[in-house]
Amino acid sequence: MNLEFKKSLSNKIVLSLVVLFLFLFLLGYFLPIGIDKVAHLSYGQYFFSAYTVATEFGFLLFSFVIAYFINKEYSNKNTLFYKLIGNNVFSFFYKKVILLFIESFVCVLFFVTIVSLIYGDFSHYFMLVILFSLVILQYIIIIGTVSIVSPNVLISIGISIVYWISSIVLVAVNKHVFGILAPFEASNSLYKSVDQVLSNQATAIDTHDIKTIVAFFILAFIVNLIVLSLSKKRWLKLGM
């Protein structure tokens, strides 16, 4: 992990994530002020707006940095190096996923804490940290998995955006059938549930939505394991 962290620093991944999260949380403030002409954003209104930015624009915001971090290393010369230090396709991938998630989690923790201190309100603090972290983990897994099977960064971004748009359409068509494909999408029931909690109309997220999130990540990891298993031959061929 020390090697991955050093690569993250040298490739400016950490800096990129900090800037992206700063932009995300700033958009959460300026969008309702500028578009909806809200005179004063409450604690709940602000975080729901930031959550909306994260769920609706996350693929556009984070696709490049995630795809770049994985695709850049998944090439002939770099793969040979990883083989020599004893890595296989699974350890290569999951080390990067874990590092990206830890760095993203720290960013989420920092900005949610800062905003909560500004408002002097920590009533939904842990829920917000968990929600934002899970939204980002979703992007890391999906975009990361796509990056393993695609030859370059641009194609990885393109496929990820196609998935994003397709999932939005499918959830809008029938959220009961396709809701598991994009649990955080605005057309899904979780979005409304988060809004109700943040506006103090409900005390907790609905159990059904929690089950949908769990089911999504189980499905995502199963698909990821299948993709990585099928990528073993390519891993062996690279760097030869």
Spatial contact of 103 and 14, defined as CB atoms under 8 Å apart: yes
CA dist., res. 31 & res. 35, Å (int): 6
Residue 161 lies in domain: 2-237
**Exposed, middle or buried by CB within 10 Å (0-12, 13-18, 19+), for 6?**
exposed
Residue 40 is encoded by which pair of tokens?
């004063």
Report which of 100, 104, 93, 98 is spatially closest to residue 71, judged by C-alpha positions: 93
CA dist., res. 232 & res. 178, Å (int): 30
Q: Which residues contact 156 (CB under 8 A, 6 or more apart)?
A: 63, 67, 70, 71, 143, 146, 147, 150
Count of domains in the chain?
1
CA dist., res. 104 & res. 141, Å (int): 13
Distances (CA, A) of 45 to 21, 120, 147, 150, 231: 18, 14, 35, 39, 44
* Tokens 């031959």 found at: 233
Per-residue pLDDT of the chain (240 residues; tens, 9 = 90+): 666 667 667 778 889 999 999 999 999 988 888 777 777 889 999 999 999 999 999 889 999 999 988 887 766 566 666 666 767 888 888 988 999 999 999 999 999 999 999 999 999 999 999 999 999 999 999 999 998 888 688 888 899 899 989 988 988 888 888 888 899 988 888 999 999 999 989 888 999 999 999 999 999 999 999 999 888 777 666 655
Hey, what's the torsion of the CAs at 127, 130, 132, 138, to 10 degrees?
A: -140
Is pTM, for the whole model, over 0.85?
yes
